[in-house]
Structure 1
Amino acid sequence: MWLLFLLPACVAAVLSCIRLVRMTATADALAGQEGPRPPEAVGIGLYETAYLAGGPDRVVELALVLMASRGRLHLAHTGWTTVVDPRGRSRLERAVLATVGPEGQCRTGELREAMAAHPTVMEIGSRLSLAGLATPAAVQRHTVLVIRQVRQALLLSLVLLAAALATSVLANGDALAPLAWFSLPVVLTTGTLLMARVDVHPYTGWASPIGQEVLREVRPPRQHGLTDDDERELFTAVAMNGTDALPDARLRAALRRH
């Protein structure tokens, strides 16, 4: 009976590991294309820093914080965004205002979701990817997905092993055979995860290895004494660490995902 538990464990382990091996090949190809490109070639500003640190969502967070801090948007803790000043000062601000719509008000969560997929935000990632500083968005998401699938296959193997041991012990008292056979999917998934830790893990972040070096050169924001008067410090903190860096509790609540 315990063989019925072994089959799905092996299938899940093999399929997930094959996907991760393919992703390793993609990561190796990306690494081979990268070179020592100067960050000045793409202009590493606040929005580029935000993308490297947190992807499209972080860029949107930074844009909303900047516009709210300068009185162009009102972000309510109830989850609504209201336009105060309809004049956008940049392409990204104009995109935000256009996404809010002609009524001048929308749900903050819906605005964030729409802006994260907006071409203006995607263009920032594309420029950074072409410069070798960012992991392409599709590669990053797929890498995270396949690593999660291998972890799930490992967990499934352990759960099915426990079920197989219980069935085998109750049937004939033999636990060695299930342990021996289930070691195959367990060792396979564990070894693949260890390999991924070295070869693939750098591509689970938005910044490529070179981009991560650029982020390390960004002056870390102060953890204490951060005020709204020091705008550059505030926006750098948000770009690097997200909305948790905001000293304004009301603004943090307004940007919290509902």
Structure 2
Amino acid sequence: MFQRNILDNMHHYLYLLINIGSVLVPFLASFYPKHPFYKNWKNYIIANTIVASCFIVWDILFTKIGVWGFNQHYLLGIDCMGIPLEEVLFFFCIPYSSVFIYFALGYLIQNNPFDKIHKWLTLSLSIILGLIAIICFDKWYTSVTFILTALFLAYNYLTKKSLSKVYLSYSVTLIFFFIVNGILTGSFIEAPVVWYNNTENLGIRLGTIPIEDVFYGFLLIASIIQIFEYLGREKIVVKKG
């Protein structure tokens, strides 16, 4: 009976375990002697905190108006500013893993296939996403996500900033994204951890994942990476000076 009660209560830890599982290996690998990511923690924490704060506010507002919500069956039951504690942790665990992948690929990949197409890709995506955002202005998740991503891409295109390394690392991140977000949106489990109001999105799913999640995730990770890189360059300039 005792063991059965433990198993019956384990589902409340699912979202927390997903967060921990997502960050555990990258965290341990951060201490690899030849390329220690932990030495960049200060810059990463600053970048992540800045961007995560904005996304958490976004998350709180969208939860409040019913764009998405959470299944208490898979949560600890601890709320933080109107959203589950696990959701707040999501904005720190997932980006850590993603930025670590970006950092590691900088040493592992010599020839980036996106180097030749990044300008065209950035311009095309910014136009396409911007148009969809305008057409679907009545759908909160689609319009807000796509217009913000389009503006981010347009800024990088106009300022001639290369996103080739970001595209490469995010392509790898997507492998894990489909696993993690797949579970959160209902793959392999009875009901989704995070549910979406389909009247506020395009209704296009990649498995169980709303297509908007792909661009939402990209905007989150790419923004953190750019601030992270900026802080790193500033440190080098100061040292040289």
Q: Structure 1-normalised TM-score? A: 0.23
* Bigger RCO (CA 8 Å, 6+ sep): 1
Structure of greater Rg: 1
